[in-house]
Structure 1
Amino acid sequence: MKYSTFIAAIPLLQLAAAQPHRRRHVHEHQLVKKDGDVVVTVVNTVYAEATDSPQVIVYVDQDGKPVSTTTEGLPAVQTPAPPAPAPVAPAPAPVEVAPVVESIAAAAPEPVETTAAPASTPTYSSGGNTGFGLVYSPYNADGTCKSLSQIQEDFKAISTEYTLIRTYGTDCNQIANVLTIVKERKNKLFAGIFDISDLSTQVATIVKAANGDWSSFDTISVGNELVNSGAASASTVVAAIGTVRGLLKTAGYTGNVVTVDTLVASRANPSLCDASDYCAVNCHPFFDGNVAAADSGNFLTTQIPTLQEKLANKSQKIVVTETGWPWKGLPNGAAVASLPNQAAAISSIKKSFASKPESIILFTAFNDMWKKNTPFQFEAEQYWGMGGINPPSG
């Protein structure tokens, strides 16, 4: 279940703060093409973001209530020349939307799995255990699954300062493979169910990977930006959370169960957070268009309270499960993709959340070359990798 979106990874809006990934940045391995995603233009607000397929535009007022809907074709945007063989990085989802759709999008065909080769004991880089989280996707550039040995090779390049690793799906044997490494690093895993159309099968995959030991699981998420992308209604997602929680409890898991959506979609549909053990949202300053890289941390700290006030439990914990900055791509107003700006954005975010690093999961460990760049993601979907690097294993 791959997602390009990290998986469907969507821009942010300020008073409508749009988040991935990845709609934000939907995890694309599951939805390689985002045809039909909703594009939202917020009226009377400071920020606005565009989704991957702007065929349907919904206008809302400052309170997030739909005002009107129009349909238009794709804008004529020229695609830049292909990137040089230098590092590449994935991009979070652009526009943050809060649509309510009753149907669930069908998952893309499962990728071809590669045979895992015997792995030697890995040596991981040190970093100080800061407590921040990091996104990792186990896919080759051609979209096929990585073997355990390849994943181990990738993790040798990931600093141990990141104590929580987020994945998005159950395909490619990724939970069992990444769990093996998480245990070796003494980290925690934020596992995900990307396609909620077959919950029992995916929960069974997670249960099998855990093999009775849930000690390394921090969180299990149910869906990624499904409401923002229009793939499911809030009520459908809330019901899925309850189903998964019940199945996992029967299997002995008593940890966190959440759904992840954009900050904007969650603010418009607070039931998503109310049904979760904590509020998990994707939020990317880059997609706002009015935020300079160095102001990324401040942007997040000012947007979180606008969500908090909508929750039934005003003191509920909020975790930003995707945030970062692309190092390559088209400019989005004040947001310019570059390596120096990526470094400035990450530094700003880490500084703003230095006292509570567990509230941030950075996007992403490496460039996601298996994703597809589009004008609506500012041709940056592949280029969000920390430091602009490609995964060592290819």
Structure 2
Amino acid sequence: MGICLAVTGLIIVGVVVGVVVAGKKTSSSTRSTGSSGSTGASPNSPVQQTDPNDPSKFTKDPDLHQAFYGMAYTPVGSQLPDCGNSLAAVIQDVQIMSQLTKRIRLYGADCNQSALVLEAIKQTKVDMTVFLGNYPIATDNGAAYQRQRDVIQDAIKTYGTDHIGGVTVGNEFMLNYLNANSATDPNSAVGDQGAAILISNIQDTRDMLTSLGVTLQVGNSDAGSYFNNKVLAKVDYGLANVHPWFANVSADDSASWTANFFQEVDIAQAANISNNPKMYIAETGWPTKSSDAGNANNGPSLASEANLQTFLDNFVCQANANGTGYFFFEFCDEDWKDKQFGGVEGWWGLFSQDRKLKNVKIPNCVAP
């Protein structure tokens, strides 16, 4: 996902009181085969290095604040088969994001993105933690999972764990598995079949970490109402996508709806699991435009910068004060998503694709 989060296909993520509704968005994986376009560092970046040989010396933008608990991110050009990402671009992204948050989450590990992000953190010397991601595919006999596991392992060997918050295995795996098998209940017999694949990958990740002699949390990410109980029982944390846009909620009500859904569905579900895994919001935000008139609104509200501002004003500082862990969706717009899927798919960023802050004001509060 110019691009800051990668995707694999069109999925349903809208949720209303535990039930997914028919809003469409693309899953945030790194598995697309679409072209990602230019992936170099941008001369229009809001920050500039004061020493061209030292990425840790860069200007700070007074309009940016560390107001966000976390940020959803995939380096530009991290989609197979192109793999056009670059360290220079990731360094620039990290320089910007370090002024917004201390935490970022990745969705997958293809195209060496784990190592690129950890190297960028090392060179910029910023206080940032990354949650690495592995995006397994149910129908490839474990090939995608194993490929990504191995590069995550190599990254940990090279950089250690000081800047790693955990390893997330699976992104909307259960949602995709159920959709592919014409089912809806993640805790049905069909759901348990998908869960068995995921649990095997989760255990294998734990075994890999043990073999390295390191201790890291292992988690799972899925649509807000699609967690399988058996999967939650095997992880340390869960990341839940909670999108008011796809639930056809107005911009004015979006923040309160997000908080209520997360508490009543995801927190409540985890509390009934014996290990009570820590729950975070994996994605939440608001699109700023649509490429076609038919998707310009979700019913009650427009996709617009003004409504993104409404969501920012009503959600960010309140979530910080309430102790909610969340990863804002997302860092910047994604041109290739727009070309491939249209609608609002490419327009969820705080920044445009060339790293220009949109016409919004970043909340001036401090995230925990």
TM-score by length of 1: 0.68
CA distance in 1 between partners of 2:229 and 2:127 (Å): 34
CA distance in 2 between partners of 1:390 and 1:8 (Å): 21
Give a deviation string over 1:227-256, Cα, whole Å, max 9, x none: 112268122112211111111221133111
Amino acid at match of 1:190: F
Give a deviation string over 1:259-310, Cα, whole Å, max 9, x none: 11011111xx222322210121111111001x11232221122112223333
CA contact (8 A) 1:133 1:163 kept: yes
2:328 corresponds to? 362
Give a deviation string over 1:179-203, Cα, whole Å, max 9, x none: 1223421200011011352334322
| 1:383 is the counterpart of 2:347 | yes
Shift in alpha-carbon separation, 1:313–1:344, aligned structure 2, 3 A: farther
CA distance in 1 between partners of 2:91 and 2:318 (Å): 31
CA contact (8 A) 1:293 1:335 kept: yes
CA distance in 1 between partners of 2:159 and 2:83 (Å): 29
Q: Which one has more relative contact order, counting CA pairs under 8 Å at least 6 apart?
A: 1
2:185 corresponds to? none
Name the SS for the 1:361 alignment partner. strand
CA contact (8 A) 1:222 1:260 kept: yes
1:176 CA displacement: 0.9
1:319 corresponds to? 280
Once the two structures are superposed, the pairs formed by residues 54-203 of structure 1 within 5 Å of their partners are 108=33, 120-122=53-55, 123=58, 125=60, 127-130=64-67, 132-140=69-77, 144-183=83-122, 184-196=125-137, 197-198=142-143, 199-203=145-149
Name the SS for the 2:252 alignment partner. helix
1:110 CA displacement: 10
2:150 corresponds to? 204
1:324 CA displacement: 0.8
1:240 corresponds to? 201
Q: 2:256 aligns with which of 289, 298, 305?
A: 298
Shift in alpha-carbon separation, 1:323–1:157, aligned structure 2, 3 A: same
CA distance in 2 between partners of 1:225 and 1:253 (Å): 26
1:310 corresponds to? 269
Shift in alpha-carbon separation, 1:256–1:357, aligned structure 2, 3 A: same
What is the alpha-carbon root mean square deviation over aligned residues?
Answer: 3.4
CA contact (8 A) 2:166 2:216 kept: yes
CA distance in 1 between partners of 2:328 and 2:8 (Å): 11
CA contact (8 A) 1:200 1:247 kept: no
Give a deviation string over 1:204-242, Cα, whole Å, max 9, x none: 211222226111100211111011122681221122111
* Worse-superposed segment, 279-288 or 364-373: 364-373
CA contact (8 A) 1:139 1:370 kept: no
TM-score by length of 2: 0.73
2:16 corresponds to? 14
Name the SS for the 2:71 alignment partner. strand
Name the SS for the 1:355 alignment partner. helix
1:178 CA displacement: 0.8
1:103 corresponds to? none
Shift in alpha-carbon separation, 1:150–1:346, aligned structure 2, 3 A: same
CA distance in 1 between partners of 2:266 and 2:53 (Å): 45
Name the SS for the 2:246 alignment partner. helix
| 1:338 is the counterpart of 2:304 | yes
CA distance in 1 between partners of 2:229 and 2:59 (Å): 39
* Worse-superposed segment, 7-16 or 363-372: 7-16
2:317 corresponds to? 351
Name the SS for the 1:13 alignment partner. strand
Q: What is the identity percentage for the equivalent residue pairs of Structure 1 and Structure 2?
A: 24
Name the SS for the 2:207 alignment partner. helix
2:217 corresponds to? 256
Shift in alpha-carbon separation, 1:151–1:6, aligned structure 2, 3 A: farther
CA contact (8 A) 1:112 1:144 kept: no
CA distance in 1 between partners of 2:342 and 2:35 (Å): 27
CA distance in 2 between partners of 1:164 and 1:29 (Å): 19
CA distance in 2 between partners of 1:310 and 1:158 (Å): 32
More helix as a share of residues: 2
CA distance in 1 between partners of 2:329 and 2:11 (Å): 8
CA contact (8 A) 1:218 1:256 kept: yes
Q: 1:228 aligns with which of 175, 192, 198?
A: 175
1:38 corresponds to? none
CA distance in 1 between partners of 2:126 and 2:10 (Å): 28
Shift in alpha-carbon separation, 1:378–1:111, aligned structure 2, 3 A: closer
